[in-house]
Structure 1
Amino acid sequence: MKFLTGIATMESEGVQFMSEIIKQEYIHLHCPAVTKAEVLQTASRWAAEAEIIADAALFLKGLWDREAEFSTGVGDGIAIPHCRLESIRQPSVFFAHLENPVRWSPEEEVDLILVLAVPQSNAENTHIRLLSQLARKLVDEVFVSQLRELDQPAAIYALFNDIQL
C-alpha cells in the first residue's frame, strides 16, 4: 500500500521519465576528479549551482554518511552515490563520466557516476523507483557501453530520455 501511495505521489508531481530529473546541464563528461572525495565534492557543487540544494556542505555530508553505511559502487565501474535530505528542492540526477577511474572502495574503481538527490519528504518512493530503474538499465551492456562511448551531453541525455519511472 505504501508503495502504491508513493507511485501516486510521484505521478501527481508529474515525474514520469528520468529525463524530467536529469537535465542536459547535469551531464558532465571528461570529469577530471581523481579521488572519491573530489567526485563527491564536485557533485555537491553541481547540485548547489543548479539550485537543487541550498547548502553544498550539508549535501556532501549526506553523501558521505550514505557511503559510510556501505559503498555505492554497484560493479562494472559504476557508482550511484545518493542522499535524502529535507533541504533538497526536487528529485535530481547528476551524471559524470570521469577522465580516469577513481578508487571507490578497496575492491572497486569507477568511471561512471550517477548522483541522486531526493527530498526527504518523498524520499522512500522516489529513491526506490530511481534506483530500481537505473539498476535495470545499468545491467544492459549496450546502455553502459554507450554511456562510456558517447561524447556529447545531448547524446547521453537522449539515452536517459526513455527511462520510465
Structure 2
Amino acid sequence: MNLAKILAPEAVKVCGHLTSKKRLFQDLGELASAAYGLDASVAIDSLQERESLGPTGVGHGIALPHARLDGLERVVGVFLRLEKPLDFDSVDRQPVDLVFSLFAPKESGVEHLKALALVSRTMRDPAILTKLRANSDPATLHAILTESRDTRAA
C-alpha cells in the first residue's frame, strides 16, 4: 500500500483561516466529495461522530481524522495544510496545521488500519513535515506525500 493509491492530487488543499473543528470537518467533507464523489454531509457527520469518541489530534501539529462510510469501495484520503493553526484538542494541546483525513469502507477492517498506519508513519517523519510546512502549492504537497519510500505495514 502506498499513499499515491489513497490520495488523489485533487484531494490536497491549502486553507486559510478556519475558526473551528466543525468548519474543518466541513472542508474535509467537501474536498472528499469533490475528489471522490462522496456525500459531503455523510462524510462530515461520520468524521464528527468518530471525533466524539476521542480527539484525532495526534500531536506535533498533526490531526488524522478518519471515518468509515457505507458504499465506499476503497480507502481514500484528503489532506489539508492550514495556514493558521487550529485548536483541535490534540493530545499535546498544540494547535494543528497538517490534517490528513481517511475515509474507509464500513467493513474495511485491516485495510483501514494499514492505511492509518501508513499515514501515521508518513506524518511522523520530520523531513516530510518540514517540507509540508514550507510549501503552499497543492501539487507540491501531493508530491511530497506520495513520493516513493518504504511503505511496509507496521
Which bracket does the TM-score occupy, shorter chain normalised? 0.7 to 0.9
Map 1:3-152; keep pairs closer than 5 Å: 16-53=1-38, 55-105=39-89, 107-122=93-108, 124-152=109-137
Q: Which residue of 2 aligns with 1:11?
A: none
**1: distance between equivalents of 2:23 and 2:104?**
21
Name the SS of the counterpart of 1:50 in structure 2: helix
**1: distance between equivalents of 2:15 and 2:35?**
19
Which deviates further from its counterpart, 92-101 or 124-133?
A: 124-133
Instruction: Measure how far apart 1:155 and its partner are.
Output: 1.8
Stretches of structure 1 that go unaligned for 5 or more consecutive residues are 1-15
Instruction: Measure how far apart 1:28 and its partner are.
Output: 0.3
Q: Which residue of 1 aligns with 2:145?
A: 160
**2: distance between equivalents of 1:139 and 1:47?**
23
**1: distance between equivalents of 2:123 and 2:42?**
28
Instruction: Measure how far apart 1:89 and its partner are.
Output: 4.1
Inter-CA distance 31–119: structure 2 relative to 1 (3 Å threshold) = farther
Moved over 4 A (4+): none
Instruction: Measure how far apart 1:156 and its partner are.
Output: 1.5
CA RMSD of aligned residues (A): 1.8
Which structure: greater helix fraction?
A: 1
Instruction: Measure how far apart 1:30 and its partner are.
Output: 3.4
Inter-CA distance 30–64: structure 2 relative to 1 (3 Å threshold) = closer
Would the aligned equivalents of 1:52 and 1:92 in 2 still touch at CA under 8 Å?
no
**1: distance between equivalents of 2:48 and 2:6?**
22
Q: Normalising by structure 1, what TM-score?
A: 0.81
Q: Percent same amino acid among aligned pairs?
A: 27
Residue identity in the other structure for 2:119: L
Larger Rg: 1
Name the SS of the counterpart of 2:100 in structure 1: strand
Name the SS of the counterpart of 2:117 in structure 1: helix
